[in-house]
Structure 1
Amino acid sequence: MDRLDAMQVMLTAVECGSLSKASRILGQPLATVSRKVSNLESQLRADLLIRSPKGLELTPAGRSYVTAAKSILEQLAEAERAAAGEYSEPKGDLVVTAPIMFGRLHVMPVVIDYLSAFPEVSVELMLTDRVTHFLDEQIDVALRIGDLPDSSLIATQLGNVRRVTCASPAYLASHTVPAVPHDLVDHDVFSFEGVSSNTIWRFWSCGKELAVPVRSRLGVSNIDAVIEAGLAGAGVIRVLSYQVADYVRDERLELLLESYEPTPHPVHLVYYKQTRLPLKLRAFIDFVVPRLRSRLTAYFGHSD
């Protein structure tokens, strides 16, 4: 039995909460994963896991073993990184993830500059609007927009983005400009929800939230299409500020109800806490953080 491989399988199963999910992540048949865990328990002559319909639970022996195994594997990984030279110069592969449009507009230009500065590093940039999982997808670092749940991740705030309401000058020329959020009931609006859904746009006034029901004339599942509808003068749209900053600057869209905007969304760079960061990751953090802060400040006037 490969003891280190069995340790990794065991840890993956515990972190996933089930053997079946661990088998998918590891790319191994469920029977193989189950056999490796069972062989490990036989070798140790101790029950490590309690299998139940609700998932996996660790026995007291299992908790002790997992703590020790995690330490052993972390030390091994660090030794391998040191031997490969990851602590002497930035080199190797990094997996970075970011929301699609934010990644395209802001992260991609900075990553290209990073690659020029560090020729021994390669980056896989995953652009997706779904929440990615560090363990499942082997993410090194992520850009996240919005409040973060409590976790073991290290988070560095880069700035904020606002949720803004806007429309084209052509649309506003033929409609009364809304003075308060409830004026939107008389306007054509476009959103991500379906046309039959009860859409609520939330604003803020005098320390209180205002929930404004609107009926979308068109429900679109793609943010670029929503923005195109706004640019075409079809109606009022609601998006994140970075998504329309260039159009606002070029006066192709006008911001509405700015004094009623809700609390801005924080933008964070997040990564796993490690005893010793590989130089490729440390270099990426040191390179990206000031540049993204500068971009957010240039676009939105403040970074914190």
Structure 2
Amino acid sequence: MDRLDAMQVLLAVVDAGSLSAGSRKLNAPLPSVSRKVADLERHLGTQLLIRTSRNVQLTDAGRDYVDAARQIVAQLKEAELRASGEYEVPRGELTVTMPLAFGQQIALPLAFEFMRDHPEITLNIFSVDRVVHLVEEHVDIAIRLGTLTDSSLYAIKVGEFRLVTCASPAYLARKGYPAGPEDLAGHDAAVFGAIEDTSWIYERDGHKVRGAPKVRIRDSSNPGAVAAAVHGIGISRAPSYLVQDELRSGALVTVLDDYDHRTFPVNLVYARQGLLPLKVRAFLDWMTPRLRRALRGLETASEPQRQ
């Protein structure tokens, strides 16, 4: 039995969630995958997986073994990278995940510049609005918005953004400026998200204040709601990175700035297992100062635009 191969098969099954999913992930026959896991259990003299018709679960022994196997495989990969010279010149495939709208507006243009400066690195961009498990989904780096919850990851804070309440000058000339969140009851809104999200929460002097505008249009995406606001449909509330161009051009102006002051962090996040590959270090070192400059520019764009 090739124990290293059996370890990798076991990890694939655990990460995929079932024997059949693991076989698809490995592009290997299901009987072969099942036999290798069974051979490993027989060699160890203990059960590693509890098999059901739909998934697999780790036993206590299996959990300990999988943790050790991950370290062994990671160390082997690190040795291979050293031998191939990846620790001498940034090269190879680098997988980065980021929120969809933030990527389109801020991170992707910078990533394209990074590729021009690092011709031997291939980028796999995973744009998705959910938290991606870096180790299980084989992702090198994540751009995360908001408060971090996984303390096992390394994080580099690159800046902040805030929510901005804004509308077109034409709309405000027609409907007037809201003086406070309570005044939103007399305004139309272009919103995004679930149907039950019908009000916005603000803060001032440590107190929460609710604003409930009349929803005129709802879009499943933030950019769609912003576009509706530009066309004068109503007031919108969006992340500052999403409306920076519209604010600079005057297509939108901000309102309720005294209430929209809470900020949210932006971090570059990565999992460190052994020596950090040079391609990962190169991306972090290159992207960190540029993201910081881009995010500092958001504050200039979202300064009050009252007329």
Fold similarity call, TM over 0.5: yes
- Residue of structure 1 in register with 2:305 after alignment: none
The Cα of 1:3 is off from its aligned counterpart by 2.0
Q: Distance in 2 between matches of 1:199 and 1:272?
A: 38
1:260 aligns with 2:259: yes
1:59 aligns with 2:60: yes
The Cα of 1:37 is off from its aligned counterpart by 1.6
1:101-160 CA-to-partner distances (Å, cap 9, x unmatched) read 221222122222222222211212232323333245421111111122124221111111
CA contact (8 A) 1:86 1:279 kept: yes
Q: Distance in 1 between matches of 2:300 and 2:169?
A: 23
SS at match of 1:81: helix
1:230 aligns with 2:229: yes
Q: Distance in 2 between matches of 1:267 and 1:257?
A: 23
Change over 3 Å in CA distance of 1:74–1:198 after alignment to 2: closer
The Cα of 1:246 is off from its aligned counterpart by 1.4
- Residue of structure 2 in register with 1:298 after alignment: 297
Any residues of structure 2 matched to 1:41-190 within 5 Å, and which?
Answer: 41-51=41-51, 56-60=57-61, 62-190=62-190
Q: Distance in 2 between matches of 1:193 and 1:102?
A: 16
Q: Distance in 1 between matches of 2:258 and 2:294?
A: 24
> Comparing 283-292 with 3-12, which one deviates more in the overlay?
3-12
Instruction: For 2:260, give the aligned amino acid.
Output: E
The Cα of 1:163 is off from its aligned counterpart by 0.8
The Cα of 1:22 is off from its aligned counterpart by 4.1
1:246 aligns with 2:245: yes
Q: Distance in 1 between matches of 2:50 and 2:135?
A: 22
1:224-251 CA-to-partner distances (Å, cap 9, x unmatched) read 2211111111110111001001111121
Change over 3 Å in CA distance of 1:43–1:198 after alignment to 2: closer
CA contact (8 A) 2:41 2:47 kept: yes
Change over 3 Å in CA distance of 1:213–1:94 after alignment to 2: same
SS at match of 1:160: strand
Change over 3 Å in CA distance of 1:63–1:112 after alignment to 2: closer
1:192-230 CA-to-partner distances (Å, cap 9, x unmatched) read 246x64512111122122233344111111222211111
Change over 3 Å in CA distance of 1:28–1:228 after alignment to 2: same
Between the two proteins, what is the percent identity of the paired residues?
Answer: 43
> Comparing 18-27 with 154-163, which one deviates more in the overlay?
18-27
> Comparing 157-166 with 19-28, which one deviates more in the overlay?
19-28
SS at match of 2:258: helix
CA contact (8 A) 1:152 1:273 kept: no
Instruction: For 1:140, give the aligned amino acid.
Output: D
Change over 3 Å in CA distance of 1:56–1:258 after alignment to 2: same
Q: Which runs of 5+ in 1 are unaligned?
A: none
The Cα of 1:183 is off from its aligned counterpart by 0.8
Change over 3 Å in CA distance of 1:210–1:23 after alignment to 2: farther
SS at match of 1:134: coil
Change over 3 Å in CA distance of 1:24–1:156 after alignment to 2: farther
Over the aligned positions, Cα root-mean-square deviation in angstroms equals: 2.5
CA contact (8 A) 1:145 1:267 kept: yes
Q: Distance in 2 between matches of 1:148 and 1:25?
A: 29
Q: Normalized against structure 2, the TM-score is what?
A: 0.88
1:66-94 CA-to-partner distances (Å, cap 9, x unmatched) read 34322321211111111111111111111
- Residue of structure 1 in register with 2:304 after alignment: none
Instruction: For 2:60, give the aligned amino acid.
Output: T
Q: Distance in 1 between matches of 2:70 and 2:197?
A: 48
The Cα of 1:167 is off from its aligned counterpart by 0.3
